Amino acid sequence: MKFPTFPSLLAGVLLAAAPLAPATAAEAPAVAVAAPAKAASATRIEPTFWWVGMKNPKLQLLVHSPGIADSKLTLAAYPGVTLDGTQKLESPNYLLVNLTISPEARPGKLQLSFAGGKTKLKYAYELRARSTDKSRVQGINSSDFIYFLMPDRFANGDPKNDVVKGTRVGHIARDSMYARHGGDLKGIEQHFDYLKSLGVTAIWPTPVTTNDMPKTSYHGYALTDFYSCDPRYGTTEEYAQFVQKAHQNGLKVIHDVVLNHIGSYSNLFLDQPAKDWFNQWPAFTRSNYNSQALNDPYGAQRDLDLYNKGWFDTSMPDVNQSNPLVATYIIQNFLWWVEYTGLDGYRIDTYPYSDPKFLMAWGKALLEEYPQLGMFGEAWVGSTAQQAFFARNILPPVNGFKSNLPGVLDFQSNYAIQDALKEKGNVTKLYDALQGDWLYEDATRNVVFMDNHDMSRVYSVIGESLPRLKMGFAWLLTTRGIPQIYYGTEILMKNFSAPDGLVRADFPGGWKEDKTNKFTAAGRTEPENEAFNYVSKLGTYRKAHPVLQTGKLMQFIPQDGIYTYFRYNDQGETVMVMLNSNQDEKTVDGGRFAERLNGYSSGTEVVSGAAVSDLKTFKVPGWSAVVVELRK
């Protein structure tokens, strides 16, 4: 998610822009206070159900019902389940129930009886059996190629859910970049084959949880219900089925989440369990959006408080994760989504903004329960050291924080590739971006990308140069880490992030009324097919060759505008990559790379299939990449 402003974090680096998606100030009052509480007409218990056999036997239920706080709870005898007590909160409409579910407990329904207060209620709470499929949660790693998309803007597979009765947005308007357009899960499913033809192995949709905000709700980053899929994408059950169908098609699913804040129309905010469930200020107070406050040895406490406790935007209440009850609520929710759906990984939006101790507890709890779960976070910062601070690293703890997040979105290499592909680009920055990998425990868990939903599309940034974009694709699919492509980049979708948000335009052909269908070769122009075919060739090659997934990387200091690196492994596979950032063809002396070329006599250029018989001298056309599979 993009922040409203972003101070310069590094000399020469300034990323300041108006937000594309966050809700506007018109959506919520300028003062961060709760909206008038609305009494619930029906009981809500969260988590909505749970499982026996979880490693952590403790379960915290948040019960919401009018006047429930004064009720006394009775739990009918259930073997293996113990009622540890209840806890009142400030709101009379909430009651916390604490349970212990021993390993001996079996699936069934707990009979909960609330009586003695304003509410008399009987509730059958379901305990389910956990999945026995050990390979169900596959994880995300460097063998994957991620396709990042916005469900609302990708394809409309089920027009019947375009408008859902009872939601705050009762229409779609494809002529508005800030309205809903009708894309959904079914639309993604219908194009699984398209994704697979690119060599894609994992799908990352922007958040699919319910976002029932009155404006700009399409992006999903201001959730209003932790435990449901947005009905305009599909039902919660259909989302679980979507994950299963993706797995059946050889595609993993990454679940995009926000830990730091929620939407101001969430039930939890409209009727707050207690004031200390949110970071409250006398008047609306924004975050300062500066993560350096977390580890500045000379920093002021006010700056730290503003960063971690200030609100991301007027309609995005900042959750108080230092409250242990809130922390447990959030942790249980993200355990729930994994067990219920079998999703493969989490992408964590605005990762650094959350309470640092909570982040460690959240990561520990999820990885203890699902060690194979993939996780990477958005740490939109200005230096390699600051980025490494938010992943597993070799650095000592700072103020008690030591990240356990496996990887991050690699903004440092993103800055570098965008700069390298410009008309007077500097490929040395690509070398520099990877040189700092020594700070990470394992930099191959970082996600590399050229653009996303928060920034100008790379094709526009580099002056709509197809040769240079193909260079970028070559880098993306051969460098270290987990490659991620933003939907439509493979068909030359363009535009800048400001002022109209067209970087989030619909994928042409995703709606039956579209005049062209760029999911098909016939619907694409010749340049679009050239770009698509280039990605497809390299993406499918990468999928079939472990050397580009898990191989070691050796890079050589760029000379004369040419960046050369090798991917190699112990099985004898070696791929050489050369990027020429000059307009003119360059001749490169292969003798400089003898330590990697020795033992090889020839090769094949991966994309063109051309034979390479001379490894002593290479001629690299201007603004191009050569990817050579070496042969002995």
Tokens of 386: 């600051």
Of 6-15, 297-306, 442-451, 533-542, which range is least confident? 6-15
pLDDT given at position 45: 97
Q: At residue 27, does pLDDT exceed 70?
A: no
Ranges of beta strands (E only) in 66-156 are 72-75, 81-88, 94-101, 108-115, 121-129, 146-149
Q: What is the mean pLDDT of residues 211-224?
A: 96
What are phi and psi for residue 434, nearest 5 degrees? -85, -25
Q: What is the mean pLDDT of residues 263-273?
A: 97
Q: What is the mean pLDDT of residues 194-212?
A: 98
Q: What is the mean pLDDT of residues 389-403?
A: 97
Q: How confident is the model at residue 136 (pLDDT cuts 50, 70, 90)?
A: very high
Instruction: Name the average pLDDT for the chain.
Output: 93
Q: How confident is the model at residue 296 (pLDDT cuts 50, 70, 90)?
A: very high
Q: How far is CA 460 from CA 52, 429, 455, 476, 493, in A?
A: 52, 20, 11, 17, 9
pLDDT digits (tens, 9 = 90+) for 62-76: 999 999 999 999 999
pLDDT given at position 310: 98
Of residues 152 and 11, more confidently modeled: 152
Burial 544-570 (b: 16+ CB within 10 A, else e): ebebbbebebebbebeebbbbbbbbbe
In terms of Cβ atoms closer than 10 Å to its own Cβ (0-12, 13-18, 19+), residue 439 is: middle
Q: At residue 40, does pLDDT exceed 90?
A: no
Q: At residue 106, does pLDDT exceed 50?
A: yes
pLDDT given at position 362: 98
Q: How confident is the model at residue 119 (pLDDT cuts 50, 70, 90)?
A: confident
Cβ atoms 356, 291 nearer than 8 A:
no
Tell which CATH classification among 3.40.50.720, 2.60.40.1180, 3.40.50.300, 2.40.50.100 matches the domain 553-631: 2.60.40.1180
Helix (H) or strand (E) holding 529: helix 526-544
The fraction of the chain above a pLDDT of 70, given in percent, is 94
Q: What is the mean pLDDT of residues 502-524?
A: 98
Of residues 280 and 10, more confidently modeled: 280
Cis peptide before 558 (omega within 30 of 0): no
pLDDT given at position 29: 32
CA distance 278 to 33: 10
Q: Which CATH architecture has domain 144-264+345-544?
A: Alpha-Beta Barrel (3.20)
pLDDT given at position 8: 28
For domain 44-129, give the fold: Immunoglobulin-like (2.60.40)
Q: How confident is the model at residue 539 (pLDDT cuts 50, 70, 90)?
A: very high
Q: At residue 262, does pLDDT exceed 90?
A: yes
pLDDT given at position 500: 84
CA distance 597 to 576: 9
Domain ranges, ordered by start, for the chain? 44-129, 144-264+345-544, 553-631
CA distance 111 to 99: 13
Active site residue 349: yes
CA distance 243 to 229: 13
Q: How confident is the model at residue 1 (pLDDT cuts 50, 70, 90)?
A: low
Q: How far is CA 454 from CA 20, 22, 49, in A?
A: 7, 10, 35
Residue type, 468: R
pLDDT given at position 2: 53
Q: How confident is the model at residue 498 (pLDDT cuts 50, 70, 90)?
A: confident
Q: What is the mean pLDDT of residues 27-31?
A: 34
Q: Could you say which of 256, 378, 437, 454 is catalytic?
A: 378
pLDDT digits (tens, 9 = 90+) for 346-360: 999 999 999 999 999
Tokens of 98: 């604490």
Q: What is the mean pLDDT of residues 109-138?
A: 93
Tokens of 435: 């040189």
Q: Same CATH topology for 44-129 and 553-631? A: yes
Within 18-150, residue ranges assigned H as helices are: none
What are phi and psi for residue 437, nearest 5 degrees? -65, -15
pLDDT given at position 501: 86
pLDDT digits (tens, 9 = 90+) for 368-389: 999 999 999 999 999 999 999 9
pLDDT given at position 118: 78
Q: Could you say which of 225, 318, 339, 349 is catalytic?
A: 349
Active site residue 184: no
Of 337, 188, 177, 185, residue with least CA distance to 259? 337
Cβ atoms 379, 411 nearer than 8 A:
yes
pLDDT digits (tens, 9 = 90+) for 156-169: 999 999 999 999 99
Residue type, 292: Q
Of residues 314 and 22, more confidently modeled: 314
